[in-house]
């Protein structure tokens, strides 16, 4: 059974889905069912129940939004994907809060050539665990913010939050 919680944040509701103590989905929506629908059919079949608190995972979210930018880093996560996508997601987790990388840099950090920027972008678009796997920290090398599943204003807010709190 997947346990879910919806937490309020300064930029809207954040749904968290946990299976056996491991975060399998997270996203800026007040509807955990939207996150469940993005999981594999096998995980969906386990069912979902909404709980009041997910313990350390919920606390990590509160700490992150209170300014402890490293609070999300130690939470165990798991999501499907090829070996390449998993390497890209792991490389994303290693991008420190308050910093950004380009898609080409992300590819390189995952052991791919810089020309694999599109592959890195695809891994970001398929990320099921925002902001724990911080795809918001990836920006196009051509400038601007690029896209973000939960909207560019959410991406901008997260980056500003991290920059402001990393500087202090």
Mean pLDDT for all residues in the chain: 95
- pLDDT for the residue 168: 55
- Domain definitions of the chain by residue range: 2-66, 83-165
The 10s digit of each residue's pLDDT in 74-126 is 999 999 999 999 999 999 999 999 999 999 999 999 999 999 999 999 999 99
pTM: 0.94
Of the pLDDT bands very low, low, confident and very high (cuts 50, 70, 90), residue 167 is low
29: left (phi over 0), alpha (psi -120 to 50) or beta: beta
CATH architecture of 83-165: Orthogonal Bundle (1.10)
pLDDT average, residue stretch 50-67: 97
Of the pLDDT bands very low, low, confident and very high (cuts 50, 70, 90), residue 65 is very high
Nearest CA to 120 among 138, 94, 144, 100? 138
pLDDT average, residue stretch 58-66: 98
The 10s digit of each residue's pLDDT in 155-166 is 999 999 999 987
- pLDDT for the residue 144: 87
CATH class as words, domain 2-66: alpha beta
Q: List, by residue number, the catalytic residues.
A: 135
The 10s digit of each residue's pLDDT in 2-49 is 999 999 999 999 999 999 999 999 999 999 999 999 999 999 999 999
- pLDDT for the residue 97: 95
């Amino acid at each position: 059974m997947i346990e879910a919680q919806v937490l309020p944040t300064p930029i809207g509701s954040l749904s968290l889905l946990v299976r056996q103590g491991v975060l399998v989905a997270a996203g800026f929506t007040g509807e955990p069912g939207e996150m469940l629908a993005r999981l594999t059919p096998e995980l969906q079949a386990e069912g979902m129940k909404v709980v009041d608190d997910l313990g350390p995972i919920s606390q990590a979210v509160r700490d992150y939004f209170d300014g402890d930018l490293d609070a999300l880093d130690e939470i165990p996560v798991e999501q499907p994907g090829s070996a390449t996508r998993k390497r890209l997601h792991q490389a994303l987790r290693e991008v420190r809060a308050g910093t950004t990388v380009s898609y080409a840099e992300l590819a390189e950090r995952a052991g791919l050539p810089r020309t694999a920027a599109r592959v890195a972008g695809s891994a970001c678009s398929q990320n099921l665990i925002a902001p724990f796997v911080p795809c918001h920290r990836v920006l196009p090398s051509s400038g601007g913010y690029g896209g973000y599943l939960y909207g560019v204003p959410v991406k901008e807010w997260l980056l500003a939050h991290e920059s402001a709190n990393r500087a202090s």
